[in-house]
Structure 1
Amino acid sequence: MTFTNGAVVHELIVDIDDEARRIAYAVLGGSLEPTHHHASMQVFGDTESRSRFVWITDVTPDSLGEPIAEMVDQGIRVIKRTLDREAVLPR
């Protein structure tokens, strides 16, 4: 995956659980080269009309924490924008 800031990461899908609505993945290489990276994304149905999206990322070295957090924030904004747009499209 290539991010808008130019960072490139090579990801490995670790698990996809459709029933739990969860995906887990790891970054194995690219321009960031973390010593360790594991992340998961999961959707929880809080109510009939709303859901909660949880994205957890563990990374070392600590110096990659801030750059990865910025990329996660950017990803969250894109996901929200996409879902908001889909919610208002005529069916």
Structure 2
Amino acid sequence: MASIRHEIAINASPQHVWDVLRDVGAVHDRLLPGRVADTRLEGPHRFLAFPDGHIIRELLITIDDDTRRLVYSVREGARPALDYHHASFEVHADGARSRLVWTTDVLPDTAAPEIRIRTGFGIAEMKQAIEASADPD
């Protein structure tokens, strides 16, 4: 199984970064505006709609406020098609800044290069959106 890990420093407090991440129904407004067109919640499932009409269904597994950890799994709509997907976000304090860690496990292994590129772009876009909404120092 391929494991992909990205870590990025964010110029915002850990509390702010976590507030944005844990707002699981507002991905399109707060975390990935422009990349995600709409977010819908149905029970433990989150549906992300993209500008081209593509929809991904995720299972929200854990939202842990104490450890600032969010865990989810893509169940339908992954591109490329995946046999297995499990991912987590963790927010860590780094002085007055934060570190965001995104770990994704996928099968088949052959999907990893494309997933690595997409998540690399995604975490950079998240950083921009989170910093833009943070209180200035």
Q: 1:31 to 1:52 in 2, by over 3 A?
A: closer
What is the percent sequence identity of the aligned residues? Answer: 37
Q: Which residue of 2 aligns with 1:37?
A: 85
Amino acid at match of 1:38: H
1:10, distance to aligned residue in structure 2 (A): 1.7
Q: Which residue of 1 aligns with 2:62?
A: 15
Structure 1 runs not aligned, ≥5 long: none
Please tell me whether the aligned partners of residues 3 and 71 of structure 1 are also in contact (alpha carbons under 8 angstroms): no
Query: Which whole-Å CA distance do the structure 1 matches of 2:51 and 2:113 have between them?
Result: 16
Q: Which residue of 1 aligns with 2:29?
A: none
Q: 1:54 to 1:38 in 2, by over 3 A?
A: same
- Name the stretch that deviates more: 81-90 or 25-34: 81-90
> Is it true that 1:84 corresponds to 2:134 in the alignment?
no
Please tell me whether the aligned partners of residues 7 and 31 of structure 1 are also in contact (alpha carbons under 8 angstroms): no
Query: Which whole-Å CA distance do the structure 2 matches of 1:44 and 1:5 have between them?
Result: 34
Q: CA RMSD in A?
A: 2.4
Name which structure has the greater RCO, CA cutoff 8 Å, separation 6+: 2
SS in structure 1 at match of 2:124: helix
Q: Which residue of 1 aligns with 2:30?
A: none
Structure 2 runs not aligned, ≥5 long: 1-47
Query: Which whole-Å CA distance do the structure 1 matches of 2:88 and 2:75 have between them?
Result: 15
Q: Deviations over 1:50-73 (max 9, x none)?
A: 111100000000111112112211
Query: Which whole-Å CA distance do the structure 1 matches of 2:134 and 2:78 have between them?
Result: 35
**Which residue, 74, 77, 83 being the options, matches 2:121?**
74
